[in-house]
Amino acid sequence: MTRRPTPTRGQKTTPRVPGKALSSSLTPGTKESSGDAAAARTSRTKSVSLKTAMGRTTAQQRWLARQLNDPYVQAARKQGWRSRAAFKLIELDDRFKLIRPGMRIIDLGAAPGGWTQVAVKRGARHIVGLDLLPVDPVPGAKMVEGDFNDPDMPQRLMDMLGGPADLVMSDMAPNTTGHAATDHMRIMGLAEGALDFALRVLGEGGTFVAKVFQGGSEQHLLVPMKQAFATVKHAKPPASRKDSSELYVIATGFRPGRIVPPEV
């Protein structure tokens, strides 16, 4: 995690707590959900330059300058979304119609809650967000602090939903090391774990959405996915930074009878 800038003398600041959003709203976004993505894309902010380093490293200065000039960051704060990542799900949902009224949804790696907010606003009836970190409550959803790898977690979350999930979504990403190959393997490991979890909790016809990185090894993930789902597609939403290798895999039409049991 990048450390927040040190405040100048006399300046008050609130410590950044993992899992907590810097801003939030009970009614995030625009009045109509269909306008959420457009509001961010048409947002225009004046270019901001850092006047002083204030003891920051070069990497911290670059990160802060990028945040200050990112229209999605500014739109998220203005509209009350807990993170800019909310716009990624908004854009994916606008394109693929992932979220429908009355759905049961599990949000893996939910902190700080942006994707959960989107699911609530777009009409899902039962939503459970899961994260290793404590997450501030999201009205209309249940937040659980725990590990999706726990053996009893699939049944626990299905009990909370009142049945199998219609959609399992994961925007999880590991702490990066700076070594591209290592970081790629870590994100793919999370994606594979999320898929295994989804196969245990999804109902027939369900959908799985997860973050992956381009790099070749995602083929290992696609083979079982194509067996278990009717369609599998990749997408890079506009909110995903151009210099990022992240993609999202969207698997729809879950077919439980097509799952190949692991070899003993």
Tokens read off for 196: 């295994």
- 175-196: string of b/e by CB count within 10 Å (b at 16+)? eeeeeeeebbebbbebbbbbbe
Tokens read off for 63: 């990160």
Active site residues: 211
- 233-249: string of b/e by CB count within 10 Å (b at 16+)? eeebbebbeeeeebbbb
Tokens read off for 197: 């979890």
Question: CA distances (Å), 100 to each of 50, 125, 143, 237, in order?
Answer: 43, 9, 20, 19
Residue type, 73: V
| CA–CA separation, 200 and 149 (whole Å) | 12
